[in-house]
Structure 1
Amino acid sequence: MKAVTDADFEAEVLKSDKPVLVDFWAEWCGPCRMIAPILEEIAAEHGDKLEIVKLNIDENPEVPAKYQILGIPTLNVYKDGEVVKQIQGVKPKAALLRELGEFV
């Protein structure tokens, strides 16, 4: 999964021609480490329809502040420059796929 930053967020996420799921995470976040392999699997299986990227909130504070990310892990799905879905916390793969059904 590709990492995005405050600097390239607009180009990589907001201007993408397909939906992009952004995993807001931090190194110290245990639940973030738990969900990462699940997201890698989803990216491998559905990368043609949904791009999945990571944004480290400690290294990139501007984007999380703009989108009021108060807890992590938070997964935002962006389509046409807008947040169209937000998922918070760790969920099993099947539950994530259900929530992402319209995008995968």
Structure 2
Amino acid sequence: MPTVRSVTDATFVDQVLLADGLVLVDFWAAWCKPCRAMAPVVEQFAAANRSRITVVKLNVDENRETSETYGITTIPTLRAFRGGREVASIVGALPRKALETRLRGVLGRGAAQGPID
């Protein structure tokens, strides 16, 4: 099973908002160089944290409804969801260590706690 799987407008609610646990969504596009640079970082992060978070990708060009719903105007954008609520947002490419640092709080955070940025 791949470490990072794709979601679509049709599967977003079930695989992200209704999912058990923490889900990180990588909003990206094939033409986006920073998105392509982030792809291995996201893969490595997903593999290293597989027991604590589910990581998915959503192509913004092919899934405009979800992209518009969440106001995605810059890519790459990473959003973490728990219990149907956004709990973290990261805009732009960054190295794996920085990604891990930015998401450290939500990886151990309970569902009742609020969003971080």
TM range (shorter): over 0.9
Q: TM-score, normalised by structure 1?
A: 0.97
Q: Does 1:101 align with 2:104?
A: yes
Question: Which residue of structure 1 lines up, in the alignment, with residue 12 of structure 2?
Answer: 9
Q: TM-score, normalised by structure 2?
A: 0.87
Structure 1 residue 47, shift from structure 2 partner: 1.1
Question: Which residue of structure 2 lines up, in the alignment, with residue 28 of structure 1?
Answer: 31
Matches within 5 A, 1:1-104: 1-102=4-105, 103=107
2:104 match: secondary structure: coil
Structure showing greater Rg: 2
The CA distance in 1 between the partners of 2:60 and 2:79, in whole Å, is 13
Q: Percent identity?
A: 45
Which 5+ residue runs of structure 2 have no aligned equivalent? 109-117
What is the number of residues matched between the two proteins? Answer: 104
Q: CA offsets per residue over residues 54-90 of structure 1, 9 Å max, x none?
A: 0000000000100101100000001110111100001
Q: CA offsets per residue over residues 21-74 of structure 1, 9 Å max, x none?
A: 000000100000000101100111101101110000000000010010110000
The CA distance in 2 between the partners of 1:45 and 1:86, in whole Å, is 20
Aligned Cα RMSD in Å?
0.8
The CA distance in 1 between the partners of 2:96 and 2:43, in whole Å, is 11
